[in-house]
Amino acid sequence: MTDALAILGGYLLGSLPFGYWVPRLVRGEDIRTKGSGNVGASNVFRVYGRSLGVPVALLDVAKGFAAALFGLWLGNELIGLLAGIAALIGHWRPLFMGFARGGKIVATTAGVALALAPLATLAMAAVWIVTFLVTRYTSVASLLSAATLPLFALLFGASWFVVAFTAGAAVAIFVLHRANIGRLLNRTENRFVLGRRAT
């Protein structure tokens, strides 16, 4: 019973669509009509800048972290992992948006991984930051950091359950970024210019 409660709680936490709610509350606008139309932190950042993008990213990380931590508290590492996976599903297809398309699970994956493999996640975050500063593409930073997360999990001695989770999450992130990958190959992907929106 407690295991099911942890998984359900993880899904509900993941379903909190901060990328939709924050712009709606602060600006009175629907992020789905802006930029790429995605409700993830990257699109919020691209449209509104750091003032809304950073809080949304942190909230998305926090809900993944809270979901996995809730599962760990109620059960064990496996339950924490299942609750974290449920949070990713909730972020992708949030209940509170009628199961419409949600975000691309990058920040929420980082939150889940932070609870289960903190050192690997911090290393992954460093990869994301450096890649973004060098390329100015959030998609490239997200893809590269997702690809390195399983390697860092192995390096820092995470359990095989966690390594398998990070590998599966990386595959899911690549699948959800397939349109971005196409635009990168065609050289039409949106690029950030720090301090203002890229043209």
Q: Tell me how far CA of residue 165 lies from CA of 22, 124, 139, 149, 181, in angstroms.
A: 29, 15, 21, 10, 22
Provide the domain count of the chain: 1
pLDDT digits (tens, 9 = 90+) for 118-134: 999 999 999 999 999 99
Specify if 103 maps to a domain. yes
pLDDT digits (tens, 9 = 90+) for 133-180: 999 999 999 999 999 999 999 999 999 999 999 999 999 999 999 999
Specify if 191 maps to a domain. no
Which residues constitute the domain of residue 68? 2-185
Mean pLDDT of the chain: 92
pLDDT digits (tens, 9 = 90+) for 35-52: 888 898 989 998 998 899
pTM of the model: 0.91
Specify if 69 maps to a domain. yes
Specify if 23 maps to a domain. yes
Residues in the chain: 199
Specify if 196 maps to a domain. no
Asked if residues 101 and 29 have their Cβ atoms less than 8 Å apart, the reply is no
Specify if 105 maps to a domain. yes
Specify if 198 maps to a domain. no
Specify if 190 maps to a domain. no
